């Protein structure tokens, strides 16, 4: 059996866990650094743009940009997406983003990708939201490309 590892989901606004007072990133960094200092194996961010379960106009930090900042603020904790939405970015662009972050972080990226489900992200950002079948087919194609 494999080794058990533990991770932390860093508050980033998606679950209405930030308050929008201008100090949210500072709070996120405190959680990040505490996780690393306490010996957690990885930290995770959601790849969503709009709050959940209800839409509010609170800050939600973009996953990949924030993970890049986290890479420069940490030394050994792994950095991951739970999970990145296949349809927000072209597969070739996403592959480039992921490989860049993996290099910047010294090989600490945990890459997760899925077919997407939160329609509100798509609607609010003007991104077409295909049927589940189409999203799964597009995920299959993206996995081949990446």
pLDDT at 1 over 90: no
pLDDT at 57: 84
**Domains of the chain: which residue ranges?**
7-145
Assigned CATH class of 7-145? alpha beta
Q: What is the pTM of this model?
A: 0.93
pLDDT in tens, 103-139: 999 999 999 999 999 999 999 999 999 999 999 999 9
Report d(CA 98, CA 146) in Å as an integer. Answer: 10
For 23-73, give the DSSP string.
-HHHHHHHHHHHHHHTT-SEEEE---SS-SSS--S-----HHHHHHHHHHH
């Amino acid at each position: 059996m494999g080794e058990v590892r533990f991770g932390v989901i860093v508050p980033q606004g998606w679950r209405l866990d930030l308050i929008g007072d201008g100090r949210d990133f500072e709070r996120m960094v405190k959680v990040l650094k505490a996780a690393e200092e306490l010996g957690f194996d990885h930290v995770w961010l959601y790849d969503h743009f709009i709050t959940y379960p209800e839409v509010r106009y609170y800050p939600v930090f973009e996953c990949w940009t924030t993970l890049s900042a986290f890479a420069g603020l940490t030394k050994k904790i792994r950095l991951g997406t739970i999970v990145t939405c296949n349809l927000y970015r072209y597969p070739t662009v996403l592959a480039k983003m992921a490989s860049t972050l993996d290099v910047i972080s010294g090989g600490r990226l945990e890459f997760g990708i899925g077919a997407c489900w939160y329609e509100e992200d798509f609607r609010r950002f003007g991104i077409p939201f295909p049927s589940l079948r189409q999203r799964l087919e597009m995920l299959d194609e993206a996995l081949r490309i990446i």
